[in-house]
A and B are shown apart, each in its own frame.
Chain A
Amino acid sequence: MSTEARPLIIGSSPHIRVKQSVPDIMFHVALALLPVAAFAVWSFGLSALLLLLTTTAACVATEHTACLIARRSTTIRDWSVVVTGLILGLTLPPSTPLWMAVLGSIFGVSVTKSLFGGLGYNCFNPALVGRAFLQIAFPIPLTTWTPPDLPGRFSSLLPTTLTFPFLRADTAALADYIRTALASGGVDGWSGATPLSMWKFAEVPQFESLPRLFLGSIAGSTGETATWLIILCGLYLIARNMMNWRIPAGMLLGAFLLSGAFWLSDKTHYPSPMFMLFSGGLMFGALFMASDMVASPMTSAGVWIYGFFIGMVTVIIRIFGALPEGVMFAILLGNAVSPLITSATQPRTYGLVRQKRWIKQ
């Protein structure tokens, strides 16, 4: 009786669809970034809060304007641009002048995303492109760090934050401000370096202790310090199947193995693999930036190669490059090769003989 009422639907596969949609996933990524953002505000204060709000607002405004110019319906409601803005803010140093943050947001979203056709067509991670642009355009403000947990961080802004647009960030005033604030807290001096630059540029390499790296009481970009929180938030996304776990796994494995090989060859110069994994932006990059769905390869074998490649390039840049940190450029390189990886790792169609040439003409 009941079968009569139901029509027989004939169609080609897929028959079972996931209920997740792009706005769903992006919303949860933004949600997962919030604890990291909260920690950033807690350890770097008002400046970090203002920085995060600025990048997010600027990214959303850029995307909206681009949609208006292209006469399309606005795409800001799919949350992806909010994620971009949050990530950009979390990868900048806390003392970044706001006008630079706005410039980076505009550049990243418009050049990487809007010009190529919006979400799904961006061949690079927009936040990272914005960050890379700022890094090359303004190298000094983008490598000026602030110690965490400064006294008075919730009552006053860092002096460089509100730099007038297009004017130079006053790094001397920032150094004075930091010195005074630290003195009021009973600390005499601060080297002004992140754990990575202390290892790379000190005459005798210094290695920050692992618990401090893990707990996040270190200098660095706003969102990269609290490794434990980043891992927790990443695990949330992996548990909800909203992130491809193979990418961070491959990336961490690649970085671990290569830095382990260096460490075994010379333990006084090269940091231990655990230091490599927990310092700088590697954990944040692995969980929230390399795993960008659009800019990573589409096959399961491909994402392993992609992650492994990024991890190894990061270690190579950190050890041999001019900059102490290499996650950003490594991920951008990975984004650049990911179409090639996708086409090289196409699975064999069931029933067909494997073709000799791995890139079809």
Chain B
Amino acid sequence: MSMEKKGPSSWDVFFAGFWRDNPVFVMLLGTCPTLAVTNSVINCFAMGVSTLFVLVMSGILISMLRNFIPKQVRIASFIVVIATFVTIVDYLIQSISLDLYDSLGAFIQLIVVNCIILGRAEAFASRNGVMRSVLDAIGMGIGFTIALLCLGVVREVLGNGTLLMNTPYEISLFGPRFEPWSVMILPPGGFFVLGVELLFFNWWRKRKEARALAQAKA
């Protein structure tokens, strides 16, 4: 690490999004796609990768332009940049798989207003250099994808009894006589699973903090 830079190391910036500042489980941002598209693993994966792409590209552009964007119109400028990349992703997914595009519905376009992307643009990319912004964007994007998959795996396994449904690699876990919990595929299932996972992760975090405190005292 060069000495003149202050703040966390690049390593920390990269890994912050994975767990410590995870956008879904810690910052509770982007809950709209989190609840809406996590009913199958492939949807989660597509959503996560699209968001990752938009995060990285808009992070690069906004970080490069950070000294030229007037402070008064920065949000509008960020949105224009983000919307450009969302449009690219939108057409890209449409060309790759129309089924996937249909199952994600409006939520690909809605990445424009995803708080994670605007939040990272405002809080990080507009204040840091390109390299660090890219690291932050990749970390956050992967953290978001992990969080989506955490929900998606539970919802798909319980709600359909499969993994990777609607793909060539579909695995049926419990055989044909499994009774699917259709509530898990429906919107309430998203709330239930997110609630339970938040409960678990917060409990885990608190326990870790309490142990660290006890060790520091000892």
Contact = CB atoms under 8 A, between A and B. Distances in A.
Interface of A: 111, 115, 133, 136-139, 141, 166-169
Contacts of A141: 179
Interface stretch (B52-60, B181-189, B205-213): B181-189
Interface of B: 174, 177-179, 181-184, 186, 188, 192, 199
Q: Which of B182, B183, B199 has the most CB of A within 10 A?
A: B183
A168 B178 CA distance: 5
B210 to A, nearest CB: 14
16 contacts: A133-B183, A136-B183, A136-B186, A137-B182, A137-B183, A138-B179, A138-B181, A138-B182, A139-B182, A141-B179, A166-B179, A167-B177, A167-B178, A167-B179, A168-B179, A169-B179
Contacts of B199: 115
Given A137-B182, A138-B179, 9 more contacts: A111-B192, A136-B182, A136-B188, A137-B181, A137-B184, A138-B181, A167-B177, A168-B178, A169-B179
A169 B177 CA distance: 9
A133 B174 CA distance: 22
Given A136-B186, A136-B188, A168 B181 contact: no
B177 A168 contact: yes
A141 B179 CA distance: 10
Q: Which of B179, B181, B182, B188 has the most CB of A within 10 A?
A: B179
A167 B192 CA distance: 22
B184 A166 contact: no
A194 B179 CA distance: 24
Contacts of B177: 167-168
Contacts of A168: 177-179
Contacts of A136: 182-183, 186, 188
A115 B174 CA distance: 30
Nearest to B192: A111
A167 B179 CA distance: 5
Nearest to A141: B179
B183 A166 contact: no
CB-CB nearest 4 A-B residue pairs: A137-B183, A136-B183, A168-B179, A137-B181
Contacts of A111: 192
Contacts of B179: 138, 141, 166-169
A136 B182 CA distance: 7
A137 B180 CA distance: 8
Contacts of A139: 182
Contacts of B174: 166
Contacts of B183: 133, 136-137
Contacts of B186: 136
A258 B27 CA distance: 47
Contacts of A133: 183
Contacts of A115: 199
Q: Which of B178, B181, B184, B186 has the most CB of A within 10 A?
A: B181
A137 B188 CA distance: 10
Q: Which of A133, A137, A141 has the most CB of B within 10 A?
A: A137
Contacts of A166: 174, 178-179
Contacts of A169: 179
Contacts of A137: 181-184
A131 to B, nearest CB: 12
A111 B191 CA distance: 12
Nearest to A169: B179
A138 B186 CA distance: 12
B182 to A, nearest CB: 6
Nearest to A107: B192
B109 to A, nearest CB: 29
A139 B182 CA distance: 8
A137 B158 CA distance: 10
A117 to B, nearest CB: 14
A139 B181 CA distance: 9
A247 to B, nearest CB: 27
Contacts of B184: 137
Contacts of B192: 111
A137 B177 CA distance: 16
B204 to A, nearest CB: 14
Contacts of B181: 137-138
Contacts of A138: 179, 181-182
B108 to A, nearest CB: 27
Q: Which of A111, A133, A166, A168 has the most CB of B within 10 A?
A: A166
B69 to A, nearest CB: 39
B52 to A, nearest CB: 33
A345 to B, nearest CB: 30
Contacts of B178: 166-168
A115 B178 CA distance: 29
A139 B199 CA distance: 28
Nearest to B188: A136
